[in-house]
């Protein structure tokens, strides 16, 4: 249950954010003035060196012109950043809407709805980042649209009380409206980083290009490279300054969100437990530009945990140790108790097999079937099904004919396989067997499976969900066999997968083959349509991926 914050607390927080927004705007204008003045003056000197023109350079006039245009540009840039929609940033980060049919997502959706009632902020979007890292974030654009998101890994590691505390922390950011401030800062300061990266690329390209012609135009090459170097240094300084300001904003707001998050959920121990768990695990892979949006720095930087002037200046977030100390004082607990709780949960974390619904049992011209290295038959289609050895991929041949083909390629047999799959609610058909896929629950999330070849069709983001949960009861022998198979799969992709090309059962776009990762070496098919993003795993591939990754992630209790 969440509790509303006092009105005076909310008012003070919003006033602080308004002042910080004003200072941010002034900083932006100042940076633009400095940047464009240096740019114009240095450009004038470089141009004079190239043209060898006599006469003095009107520096005061250049400064007035640069100041005027840079101020106007800064104003437009700030207004543009404020006008950017929430969808833009969500797309850049790579989030997806939470799935109400997923057993891990549903509690998260419910908790955010509770936070809506406590904060009075309506229509908070509930999003999930498909990463097995552990982290959380909140976003708010200039129009007041907001979102609270977590990674798949976080949903698999935290219990409901801990997840509620994390949501309370992120809801406090929305109440303070500092999520809007930081979201705006990400849009603003990312420009300097992009300019710096582009100029760095131009500098390398220019050097490579002119090294070929340096004997013919060495002076021109040096002048042009000098201009780019000066601009690169200026943009780098601007990016460094904006990053420092962004870090300072992030550090202050995290302490305030911790305090007001606890006031909302009345559970400082759960928030301390969640921060402790996040700090001990992989936090995801997010560009540094967006790191200030998260509850904890995605990059596991040693500076974050140091307490010095230099570390405070260059770290995105306050030290976890300080945040935990404050929370544990409120909870009347200590770090050793927190460590004992975490170790106990790791020991008690039960392993279980993936939950899958049972497939329902089912039930002229004769056909020969290839079985056990020989042809058997002839049998009628019902007899072939009743004997239990025929699948859609079985090689068959009509009696008295030489036309051999897969069972699903025979018009008289395909309807029998399709009718055998009862209760299929998926609209997709197996790309291998051409029979309807069965929708079922696999470790709390919905997947589509072929009842014959045992392949899985996974919607975008589902594979990441399953990987992040790591709750599968695989035996040591199964994992050993999977690793032996993985070690035998080194080599070119074309020599390792002989399945024919297929189309996506969802959108009918072609599916490309690719290696899932260097760790697993499993070849999977993925839809080339970015709006679909479905993945097809042939029989046994999904289990192999999960076994190898879970084994790699196993860490003995107390090793950290």
Active-site residues: which are they?
170
CA–CA dist 371, 100 (Å, integer): 44
Strand-strand pairing, 523-527 and 535-537? antiparallel
Q: In the beta sheet, which residues pair with residue 148?
A: 126, 138
Residues 417, 423: Cα–Cα separation, whole Å = 13
Phi/psi at 430 (nearest 5 deg)? -60, 125
Q: d(Cα 297, Cα 290) in Å, to the nearest integer?
A: 9
* Residue among 387, 407, 404, 456 at smallest CA distance from 428: 456
Collect all residues with Cβ–Cβ distance below 8 Å to 131 and sequence separation of at least 6.
151, 152, 153, 284, 285, 464, 468
Residue partners of 317: CB distance under 8 A and separation at least 6: 250, 251, 254, 292, 296, 297, 304
**Burial track 215-244 (b if 16+ CB lie within 10 A, e otherwise):** eeeeeebeebeebbebbbebbbbbbebbbe
Question: What are the C-alpha distances in Å from 258 to residues 50, 168, 172, 551?
Answer: 57, 9, 8, 35
Helix axes 335-348, 268-279, angle to 10 degrees: 70
For residue 192 the two structure tokens come to: 């300097």
Residue of 160, 169, 367, 322 lying closest to 259 (CA atoms): 169
- Give the span between the Cα atoms of 426 and 409, in whole angstroms: 22
């Amino acid at each position: 249950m969440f509790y509303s914050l006092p009105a005076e607390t909310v008012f003070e927080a919003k006033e602080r954010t308004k002042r910080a927004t004003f200072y941010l705007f002034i900083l932006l204008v100042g940076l633009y003035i400095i940047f464009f003045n240096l740019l114009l003056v240095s450009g004038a000197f470089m141009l004079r060196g190239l043209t060898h023109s006599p006469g003095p350079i009107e520096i005061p006039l250049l400064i007035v012109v640069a100041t005027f245009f840079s101020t106007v540009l800064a104003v437009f840039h700030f207004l543009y950043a404020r006008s950017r929609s929430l969808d833009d940033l969500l797309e850049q980060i790579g989030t997806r809407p939470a799935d109400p049919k997923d057993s891990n997502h549903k509690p998260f959706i419910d908790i955010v709805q509770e936070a809506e009632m406590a904060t009075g902020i309506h229509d908070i979007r509930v999003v999930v980042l498909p990463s097995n890292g552990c982290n959380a974030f909140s976003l708010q654009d200039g129009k007041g649209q907001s979102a609270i998101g977590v990674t798949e890994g976080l949903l698999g590691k935290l219990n409901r009380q801990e997840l509620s505390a994390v949501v309370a922390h992120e809801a406090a950011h929305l109440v303070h409206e500092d999520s809007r401030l930081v979201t705006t800062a990400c849009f603003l300061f990312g420009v300097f980083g992009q300019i710096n990266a582009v100029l760095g690329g131009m500098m390398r390209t220019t050097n490579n290009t002119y090294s070929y012609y340096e004997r013919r135009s060495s002076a021109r090459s040096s002048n042009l490279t000098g201009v780019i170097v000066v601009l690169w240094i200026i943009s780098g300084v601007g990016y460094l300054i904006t990053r420092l300001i962004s870090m300072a904003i992030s550090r202050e707001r995290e302490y305030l969100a911790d305090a007001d998050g606890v006031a909302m959920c009345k559970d400082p121990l759960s928030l301390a437990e969640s921060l402790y768990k996040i700090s001990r695990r992989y936090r995801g892979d997010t560009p540094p530009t967006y790191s200030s949006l998260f509850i904890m720095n995605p990059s596991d930087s040693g500076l974050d945990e140091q307490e010095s002037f230099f570390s405070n200046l260059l770290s995105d977030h306050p030290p976890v140790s300080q945040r935990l100390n404050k929370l544990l004082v409120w909870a009347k607990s200590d770090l050793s108790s927190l460590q004992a709780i975490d170790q106990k949960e790791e020991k008690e974390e039960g392993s279980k097999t993936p939950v899958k619904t049972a497939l329902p049992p089912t039930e002229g011209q004769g056909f020969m079937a290839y079985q056990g290295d020989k042809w058997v038959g002839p049998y009628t289609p019902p007899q072939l099904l009743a004997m239990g050895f025929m699948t859609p991929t079985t090689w068959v041949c009509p009696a008295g004919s030489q036309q051999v083909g897969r069972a699903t390629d025979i018009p008289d047999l395909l309807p029998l396989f399709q009718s055998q799959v009862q209760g299929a609610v998926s609209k997709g058909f197996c790309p291998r067997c051409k029979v309807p896929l069965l929708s079922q629950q696999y470790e709390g999330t919905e997947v589509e499976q072929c009842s014959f070849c045992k392949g899985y069709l996974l919607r975008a983001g589902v594979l990441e969900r399953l990987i992040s949960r790591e709750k599968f009861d695989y035996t040591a022998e199964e994992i050993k066999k999977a690793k032996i198979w993985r070690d035998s799969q080194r080599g070119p992709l074309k020599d390792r997968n002989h399945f024919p090309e297929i189309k996506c059962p969802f959108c009918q776009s072609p599916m490309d083959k690719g290696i899932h990762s260097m760790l697993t070496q499993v070849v999977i098919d993925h839809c080339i349509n970015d709006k679909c993003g479905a993945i097809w795993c042939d029989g046994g591939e999904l289990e192999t991926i999960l076994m190898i990754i879970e084994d790699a992630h196993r860490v003995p209790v107390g090793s950290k």
